[in-house]
Amino acid sequence: MAQFTIEDFGTQLIFSYRLRAVLFLSIVALAIYQYRTAQIREVLGLCPHVVMAILVWLPDFWARGILST
């Protein structure tokens, strides 16, 4: 039987598509909440959390060929 270490489990957890989607939506929800309560206005009126989430998510879209030209 194969043995799994904590590092293997962590790697599988980090690259899990569902987990990444949940983290992405959580960041967006937090950003919307902070924007509405604190009225934070940054670049293009977006919170830094939304900008960060987009920057983190873009390489995944490119890797899947969604944004490739």
What is the model's pLDDT at position 40? 52
Whole-angstrom Cα distance, residue 15 to residue 19? 8
Does residue 33 register a pLDDT over 60? yes
Average pLDDT over residues 4-14: 57
What is the model's pLDDT at position 18? 72
Average pLDDT over residues 24-52: 68
Whole-angstrom Cα distance, residue 58 to residue 47? 17
More confident residue, 43 or 64: 64
HSE-up of residue 17 (Cα within 13 Å, Cβ side): 3
What is the model's pLDDT at position 1? 47
Average pLDDT over residues 52-64: 70
